[in-house]
Amino acid sequence: MRANLTSVHVVRLDTGDEVISTLSSRLRELGVKGAAIMGIGGVSRARVGVFDPSAGKYREREVEGFHEVVSLMGNASVREDGSTFLHLHVSLASESGSVAGHLLEAVVEPTLEVFVFSLDSEIKRTLKTPYGFVALDV
């Protein structure tokens, strides 16, 4: 699949915003149906997972207290039902250490600055995998 960059949207999330739901909502408002995403900022808590292919699920870890979002990156696509799907990975750091993996949930503190590189093509996510998740159709 080939897609061209059409625009870059700068989105700021504020204290108390839940990252996945708030960013999904903003992308729907902007009409984004395919994008690359990157961002930095901070969170007060998060749930991060690392996928275990043999179990077909994420091994989850919850972090509490302020963590710097060293890197947020991923993509936005569209599910079969037309809803926005965010596939985001994150690297978080605090004075006590760091954690990285698939972002399952997070609450912003004090801000999260996100750059959304919007594409001219709808990116669909309907390919069912033997691992139990739905992959990009490319």
Tens of pLDDT, residue by residue over 73-94, are 999 999 989 999 999 999 999 9
Q: Which of 45, 33, 52, 29 is nearest to 133 (CA)?
A: 52
For the domain with range 5-136, which CATH number is right: 1.10.1200.10, 3.30.450.20, 3.30.1330.80, 3.30.930.10? 3.30.1330.80
State residue 27 phi and psi, 5-degree precision.
-65, -40
pLDDT beyond 80 at 132: no
Structure tokens, 51 = 């996928």
pLDDT beyond 90 at 97: yes
Q: What is the pTM of this model?
A: 0.92
Lowest-confidence segment of 9-13, 21-25, 52-56, 60-64 by average pLDDT: 52-56
- In angstroms, rounded to a whole number, what is the distance separating the alpha carbons of residues 87 and 20? 9
Structure tokens, 114 = 């996100």
Structure tokens, 56 = 């077909």
Whether the Cβ atoms of residue 108 and residue 41 lie closer than 8 Å to each other: yes
